[in-house]
Chain A
Amino acid sequence: MKSAPATPKRSDRRRMLITPEGIALPVTLASRGTRFGALLIDLTIIVVAMIVSAFGLYYAASKIMQMNGQSLEKSDPTMPGAVQFALIVYIALLFLLRHAYFLYFELGPRGATPGKRMTGVRVAARDGGRLTTEMVLARNLLRDVEISLPIVAVFSLIGGGLAEWAALGWLAVFALFPLFNRDRLRAGDLVAGSWVVEAPRLKLADALSTGQTAASGTSQATGASYKFGEEELAIYGEFELQTLERVLRENRTEAMAAVHEAICRKIGWNPGAGDERAFLEAYYTQLRARLEGGMRMGQRKADKHG
């Protein structure tokens, strides 16, 4: 049987989390690229909201002034009440968009901003406990230093000197923090005790071993009966079983033929053709029955070498 294509990039992001009930849950950390993408989506939403609300407030204020018979063009040193009000609303709105946008969404049941939701990630507590309001507050208070300040620093480079470069370099430590630690923590995550993980959504796959062929070991197509003996099943372990499961679920003819041939060669059967799937389903079910029986006795066989 061919060895499974290893995915080192993904396994590098696997972490074990112990829930308060003592159950170990595997979580996958969100990749840096995903998080950057999520951030870009969120920032786009914020900037668009800022622009839309600016136009909206401008329009509303000028409408009200028209009704009162005033106009914005009039060079009057005093500000009309409508403009004052619109400005206050706008300043408050900018503040809320910058600081409360992330808070509001991350405190919701999904624990994710729209950008995170679209990219399939969410915020979680690093210790496996409850994600508290304080954590969400803390991780978002540091956003200023990580995002706004470096952007300002980049623009201040235009016509700037050594001091501006030094400031940018110093701020880059915050902005690039996720690049330099294994858990991809931003400075905000570090201070809050949180991290960002992938939010899994898996459908329950059908059981492979309950089909007619699998359960009885008899092919419905050809009527051939597949019964494997003890030594024919003893050559493989759990790793090979999982590879076989994946091949059956993917259901690609060439892959199944290759695996079918490999197993037949190994157990000394004469590989026929045309009934590979039935053969593999029967072998899968009987191998699983044998290995699970061993598990109940406390004997596990990790792979063909074990």
Chain B
Amino acid sequence: MAIFSRLTGKQARAEAAIEAAALRSDRFRQEREGDWRRLEAVVTRMEAGRLRKISDADVLELPVLYRTVASSLSVARETSLDAATLAYLEALVQRAWFLVYGPRTTLWSWLARFFGGEWSRAVRSIWPELLVALALMVAGTVIGWQLCAADPDWFYAMMPGQPGDLRVPGASHAVLKGTLFGKQGQDGLSVFAAYLFSHNAGVAILCFALGFAFGIPPVLLLIQNTTMLGAMLWLYHGQGLTLDVVGWLSIHGTTELLAILLAGGAGLHIGRSMAFPGTRSVLDAAAAAGQRTATVMAGVVLMLVAAGMLEGLGRQLIDSTPARLAVGYGMLAFWLAYFFLLRRVPAGSETE
């Protein structure tokens, strides 16, 4: 009795209940129920709140309680036939498991890791596909040029005709030059830039997403888009404006074409992993490839923001070919250095 008198009333009642329980598995349950309910309370709070508002105590307690309750579940499975308790424990462990193994990073720490090396590492890891994508794009450009040179009618087939477009075969030097320069005064440039970004990002995401069909659609998209490039180059070359059109395209094109190259390479990577999964199952191979290339694609969208700004603003405001070339190839050098010279692996990386 001396022991009982030191206990609080609540504890004493709990002890008495444990004594009264006829079954060993019920005594097990009553002894641990407190922990289960504490975990349930923590999990419910964390599920309801934004990450920032969760108290440190909950964050510290969660993994400990999770392991306690998980071991309760293991024991209960071997000793208890109380189906309701088992179902409750399974559900509770599952909820806690989602939190313990959920996406743990905040957006900012993910971005820090992303720019701090994860992006460039992901890009390097798909280098064989990048080479294939590059070859396809070069081939597309050459094909576009050659076809137009052989028969100018091809130009109309490749360029989606816009009514009133001055850029057609047979246009004079002056007309073509006018399309390249003298747009500084134009209004609504920033809107144009935002539109271009949104459009290009859509195309790049499409290029990636279609890689799912064993990589064939990205091949077609890469070739189709670059035949247009070849046709444009051919058109301006005919009037001796080759360098000027290269400058006009390069200021944003180095960034944009590189982004499309990365997106196409990412699509090809998924396609290749599914067509030739190696020793893994197709599903596992697709999942691994998808996660690797998702990082590349997040970067592609950011590159297209940059390209949209350069195209919508930079190209119209910078009106000389040398300056355009300098910006364009400066950007290219920057991207290549970032991807292939930055070889730091960020701390706390989530992937392998």
Contacts and interface: CB of A to CB of B under 8 A. Distances in A.
Interface of A: 19-21, 23, 25-27, 77-79, 84, 87-88, 91-92, 94-95, 99, 106-111, 122, 124-126, 129-139, 141-142, 144-145, 149, 173-174, 187, 190-193, 199-205, 207-210, 214-216, 238, 241-242, 245-246, 249, 285, 288-289, 291-292, 295-296
B262 to A, nearest CB: 13
A296 B99 CA distance: 33
Interface string B10-36: 000000010011111110011001001
Interface in B255-272: 270
Contact of B286 (A137, A190, A238): A190
Contact of B198 (A23, A94, A205, A215): A94
B23 A191 contact: no
B210 A145 contact: yes
Contacts of A135: 287, 290-291, 294
Interface stretch (B81-89, B156-164, B228-236, B314-322): B81-89
Given A79-B191, A295-B78, A111 B270 contact: no
A134 B289 contact: no
A193 B287 contact: yes
A19 B202 CA distance: 37
Contacts of B73: 23
23 contacts: A19-B70, A88-B190, A109-B49, A110-B47, A122-B98, A125-B101, A130-B102, A131-B101, A131-B103, A132-B103, A134-B294, A138-B293, A141-B208, A173-B213, A190-B286, A191-B287, A202-B88, A209-B26, A210-B20, A216-B22, A288-B82, A292-B80, A296-B79
Contact of A204 (B23, B33, B79, B301): B33
Contacts of B284: 193
A179 B107 CA distance: 33
Interface of B: 17, 20-26, 29-30, 33, 36-37, 40, 46-47, 49-51, 54, 67, 70, 73-74, 78-85, 87-88, 90-95, 97-99, 101-105, 107, 110, 187-188, 190-191, 194-195, 197-198, 201-202, 205-206, 208-210, 212-213, 270, 283-284, 286-295, 297-298, 301, 350-351
A209 B47 CA distance: 32
Q: What are the 9 tightest A-B residue pairs by CB atom distance, in nearest-first order?
A: A193-B287, A191-B290, A138-B294, A200-B91, A137-B294, A205-B84, A138-B290, A134-B291, A145-B209
B79 A215 contact: no
Contacts of A136: 103
Contacts of A126: 283, 287
A210 B94 contact: no
Contact of B84 (A131, A133, A245): A245
Given A135-B291, A292-B79, A295-B79, A109 B84 contact: no
Given A84-B188, A204-B88, 8 more contacts: A19-B101, A25-B94, A78-B187, A110-B47, A136-B103, A137-B298, A192-B287, A199-B95
A134 B295 contact: yes
Given A126-B287, A199-B95, A174 B67 contact: no
B47 to A, nearest CB: 6
Contact of B25 (A84, A191, A292): A292
Nearest to A173: B213
Nearest to B118: A134
B338 to A, nearest CB: 19
Nearest to B185: A78
A133 B49 CA distance: 19
A233 to B, nearest CB: 13
A132 B47 contact: no
A204 B293 contact: no
B70 A21 contact: yes
A193 B81 contact: no
Contacts of B46: 109
A116 to B, nearest CB: 13
A16 to B, nearest CB: 11
B24 A292 contact: yes
A91 to B, nearest CB: 4
B98 A111 contact: yes
A45 to B, nearest CB: 18
A47 to B, nearest CB: 17
A249 B84 CA distance: 9
Contact of A91 (B88, B195, B294): B195
Most buried by B among A26, A109, A238, A288: A109
A245 B22 contact: no
Contact of A133 (B26, B105, B201): B105
B350 A133 contact: yes
B187 A79 contact: yes
B281 to A, nearest CB: 11
Most buried by B among A78, A136, A192, A209: A209
A151 to B, nearest CB: 14
B297 A205 contact: no
A203 B41 CA distance: 12
Contacts of A207: 21, 26, 29-30, 82, 85
B285 to A, nearest CB: 10
A301 B81 CA distance: 11
B292 A92 contact: no
Given A142-B212, A190-B287, A207-B85, A107 B103 contact: yes
A129 B91 contact: no
Given A91-B195, A135-B291, A23 B205 contact: no
Contacts of B82: 207-209, 245, 288
Contacts of B190: 84, 88
Nearest to B350: A132
A88 B99 CA distance: 37
A133 to B, nearest CB: 5
A78 B189 CA distance: 11
A200 B95 contact: yes
B296 to A, nearest CB: 10
A131 B102 contact: yes
